């Protein structure tokens, strides 16, 4: 999924990826080579890029779990397990397309920009909004889902999935999707380059494009 938008003197190319999809790794590499952008913007913060580059899957310590609250930490551990399970099933490491983008851009002498909000802030905001009942519902849906989605379906129907999340988990949609769409759009607008290639999850493409188009972002 690739969208184009011109705002002022800047041409934005927004490439939507699936974080555990081999096709996305190939598309990212090809997009950088074909588009030859002045800068590549990634849906990452510095800590997440460092963790991906070093394949850091460290589990939280007992002290960190205590600080987070054991129920919150267990929920995060379970969410991490699900992501790793998807990665195992598809044979690709979660976030590998972001690593590929960073490596490819640097090999061509193209600077990169990390445009996402600090993951710790996002997690903290999420935990503040999600009550006990919502956590139970998330775990129940994760263990006994009403629907099963293939990676191909997720990649080809991001808007439908985002709408489902918005309807069933509005608190998650607000923090994980909408707030970050606005945050990343704001950071993109601060980049003073003629041609910007933004590589983000497919579910963020429409929101980022919408916020980029607002004159008061």
Asked, for residue 73, whether it belongs to a domain, the answer is no
Q: In the predicted model, is pLDDT for residue 185 greater than 60? A: yes
CATH number for 182: 3.40.50
Asked, for residue 137, whether it belongs to a domain, the answer is no
Asked, for residue 145, whether it belongs to a domain, the answer is no
Asked, for residue 190, whether it belongs to a domain, the answer is yes
Q: Give the pLDDT of residue 51.
A: 81
- What is the dihedral sign for C-alpha 6, 174, 85, 159? negative
Retrieve residue 122's tokens.
Answer: 């996002």
Asked, for residue 201, whether it belongs to a domain, the answer is yes
Asked, for residue 197, whether it belongs to a domain, the answer is yes
Other C-beta atoms lying within 10 Å of the C-beta of residue 25: 20
- Structural domains of the chain, count: 1
Angle at CA 128, nearest 5°, toward 125 and 131? 135
Q: Give the pLDDT of residue 65.
A: 47
Mean pLDDT of the chain: 78
Q: Give the pLDDT of residue 20.
A: 57
SS3 40: strand
Q: Give the pLDDT of residue 195.
A: 98
Retrieve residue 165's tokens.
Answer: 């999340």
Retrieve residue 54's tokens.
Answer: 């070093």
pLDDT digits (tens, 9 = 90+) for 92-137: 345 788 999 999 999 999 999 999 999 888 878 877 777 777 777 7
Structural domain range at position 27: 2-58+95-126+150-212
């Amino acid at each position: 999924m690739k969208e184009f938008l011109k705002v002022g003197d800047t041409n934005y190319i927004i490439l939507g990826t699936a974080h555990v999809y081999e096709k996305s790794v190939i598309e990212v590499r090809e997009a950088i080579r074909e588009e030859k952008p002045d800068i590549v913007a990634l849906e990452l913060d510095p800590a997440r890029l460092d963790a991906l580059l070093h394949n850091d899957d460290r589990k939280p310590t007992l002290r960190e779990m205590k600080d987070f609250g054991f129920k919150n930490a267990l929920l995060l551990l379970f969410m991490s397990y699900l992501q790793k399970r998807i990665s195992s099933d598809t044979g690709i490491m979660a976030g590998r397309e972001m690593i590929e983008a960073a490596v490819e851009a640097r090999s061509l002498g193209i600077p990169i920009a990390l445009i996402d909000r600090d993951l710790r802030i996002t997690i903290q905001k999420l935990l503040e909004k999600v009550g006990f009942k919502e956590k139970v519902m998330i775990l129940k849906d994760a263990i006994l889902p009403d629907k099963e989605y293939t990676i191909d379906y997720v990649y080809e129907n991001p808007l439908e999935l985002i709408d489902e999340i918005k309807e069933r988990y509005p608190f998650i949609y607000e923090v994980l999707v909408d707030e970050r769409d606005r945050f990343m759009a704001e950071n993109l607008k601060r980049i003073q380059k003629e041609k910007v290639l933004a590589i983000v999850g497919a579910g963020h493409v429409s929101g980022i494009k919408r916020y980029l188009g607002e004159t008061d972002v």
